[in-house]
A and B are shown apart, each in its own frame.
Chain A
Amino acid sequence: MRQHHFAIALIAAAALTACGGDGSSGGNQTQKTKFSAQVVFGDSLSDVGSYAVGTVKALGGGKFGINGDLTTVNPALTGKNWTELMATQFSLPAPCAAQTGLEGDSTKGFAVPIVFHAGCTNYAQGGSRVTNPVGPSHKLTGSPLGALTVPVATQIQNHLSVSSGKFSGTELVLVMAGANDVFMQLGGLSAGATAAGSASFGTTLVGSLAAGATNPQTAAQAIGLALKTESARPGRTDASVIAAAVGAAAIQPGNSAVGAPAVYGPMVASAQAAGAKAGAAYFAATSPSLVAAMATAATELTALVKTRIIANGANYVVVNNMPDIGTTPSSAGYDAATLALVNAMVKTFNDTLGTGLASEPKVAYVDAFWASHDQATNPAPYGLTNVTTPACDLSAAKNPLGSSLVCNGGNLIAGDVSRYAFADSVHPTPFVHLLLARYVSKYMLQKGWL
């Protein structure tokens, strides 16, 4: 009898334990490493408001993405980029821009004094390159915005100059740069190829049109002048340039026959072919130098990380490589040769950076390229609903800058864009920034830092 009681007591004890409660909890949220601060160097992908001044601010912009907390519309529309999410995760204050201002057109509200903000350690600026001070929308590009585009090399110097030349060793340093070197190099190539093509087109056309004149040399001068004048006129078109050249040719002594379409038409066609050929030749001849320039930029960034950041005391450095530019909307219109060049530039940069930092124990090297490429080509597992269309309405009427810098809840395209990949042609949405933050966290966990 007593033995039966013993058994029942045991069962009761086990049953009681089973009823201990079903309390799910978040558990201990403390990370293994307690970071004292977060210091960010980079470009628009990490910028938290360097240009949130003047008209940019007035337009409800300041960050490159979808500005503003729109979580009441959709929880994914946080208005935050990955650096802000990382800071929150590590219980650090919200990151603030170390420097703000614009050097653009004062009549448009894009001239705002440059101010350094003490205590703010996010140095990333839209348009910044690795070492070259002139990035996209910099005043020297003729942009009315006048983005500061302080390069990463100078960003690091600026930080060292306010921190006694040292990193404390307990801060988390985030580095992500390189894409603007691609964009600027491509811009230069495009301009050069166009110029070479136009020159060849003009020379060929003028020569052909002048050939039938009594005095071809004099005729060529007159036709060339007409072509040059029209080419320089604002509002000119290819057709207007041709018409000006043909018109000038037809009034040359002994050359009236050239005014007939049947005569000048083939001349124009062959001149255009010559122009295209010259443009392509310039492209082919110049492309290798762009790839080489990206290797140089990556080597410079590697050196900055090693000799300026780690050598000065930083112990936790996250370096994101360059995302896949070839799958962004900005690359959608590229011909095969340009796309191949872009891909080669990105790959060369990443290969060089990855190799350079491979054996650096204080660096978590994040393959952001892989993540962005996979998201663009395999969107479903990421919950992405659109990886080709910008979420922002970039028409001039809705977005004076045509950039996500001034994109917010008021100028999105119609429909639910919360899980679109891109805000504009290159910048990701807050949702993709969350994916990036999670991805970076994974690397930090694997590194044993969290």
Chain B
Amino acid sequence: MNQRMKSVVTLLAAACAMGLAANASAQSAGQFSAKIGAGKITPEGDSGDLSAPAFPGSKVAVGDATAPVLIVAYGLTDNISAELGLNLPYKLKLSGAGTQAGTGQLGTAEALLPSAFIQYRFFQPEAMLRPFVGLGVTYAYFQKETGSGKLTALLNTGGPATTFSIGAKAAATLQAGVAVNINPRWFVDLTVTKSKLEVQTRYATGQTQSVRLDPLAVILAIGYKF
């Protein structure tokens, strides 16, 4: 009973708020918007085995990372937008996994994941809550791949410092989110994206490793409509 009452109250409040925001000019045709926020990516894939010469089952795990993001959008129509996302580098931490589990953090790399989407935004531009879905592409670019004494000890004990690089790769990305219009200019939104992304890591030892990142990104941003 209590639960049901709460739901009703929430619905009423939402409807009320929508009504109040009815005059907001939210991402309509021909309008630019820009938002900045924080993105958190969580790699959800796993790595393949390190190529020979390696102990079988030598894998790598990639940790979560958070970075500032900037996203601009343009309303093609009242319901269809084009969006371009940029981020400051996500600093990824690579750790030993599989048979190398417990060896700790072996390296870091910075990921830039610029993305472009075509979005469909539900409801009218003036609606306070505008859920949206998008389909797009992410270009994963990696830089400043940095090894460690640990990585060298594991891959080429007594040898020169082991460097590595991760190849850039484009990936299909799905997006879903909701924007909340605070007033006619300002809004906050929450976006979740999921990419299908498998990258190739190449070590200075000549070994390679495919790493399925399949990142799930959650982005909370505040934006402004121009």
Contact = CB atoms under 8 A, between A and B. Distances in A.
Interface stretch (B16-24, B51-59, B210-218): B51-59
Interface residues of A, number: 54
Give the interface size class of chain B: 35 or more
Contacts of B103: 442, 445-446
Interface string B164-180: 11000000000000000
Contacts of A444: 153
Interface in B136-162: 141-162
Contacts of A22: 142-144, 165
Contacts of B107: 27
B157 A4 contact: no
Contact of B157 (A15, A86, A384): A86
Interface stretch (A195-203, A233-241, A430-438): A430-438
Interface in A23-60: 23-31
A435 B50 CA distance: 14
B56 A434 contact: no
A21 B144 contact: yes
B36 interface: yes
Q: Is the interface of B mostly helix, strand, loop or mixed?
A: mixed
Contacts of B53: 381-384, 419, 431, 435
Nearest to B207: A383
Q: Which of A3, A14, A419, A444 has the most CB of B within 10 A?
A: A14
Interface string A73-114: 000000010101111110000000000000000000000000
A442 B158 contact: no
Contact of A371 (B55, B149, B159, B161): B55
Nearest to A375: B55
A3 B224 contact: yes
A23 B49 CA distance: 25
Interface stretch (B81-89, B124-132, B190-198): B81-89
Given A442-B100, A450-B150, A26 B162 contact: yes
A14 B55 contact: no
Contacts of A86: 157-158
Contacts of A441: 153-154, 157
Nearest to B155: A438
A380 B161 contact: no
A18 B70 contact: no
A29 B155 CA distance: 13
Given A15-B86, A26-B161, A26-B163, A10 B34 contact: yes
Query: What 10 A-B pairs have minimum CB-CB distances, sorted nearest first?
Result: A26-B161, A383-B53, A85-B158, A88-B158, A437-B157, A383-B52, A441-B153, A14-B86, A445-B103, A446-B102
Interface of B: 32, 34, 36, 49, 52-56, 70, 72, 86-89, 96, 100-104, 107-108, 110, 112, 114, 141-165, 224, 226
Given A11-B72, A18-B141, A25-B147, 7 more contacts: A3-B224, A80-B158, A82-B157, A84-B158, A89-B157, A442-B100, A445-B154
23 contacts: A14-B86, A20-B110, A20-B144, A22-B143, A24-B144, A24-B146, A24-B164, A25-B163, A26-B147, A27-B149, A29-B149, A31-B150, A84-B158, A89-B152, A89-B157, A381-B54, A383-B52, A384-B53, A419-B53, A434-B157, A440-B157, A445-B96, A450-B153
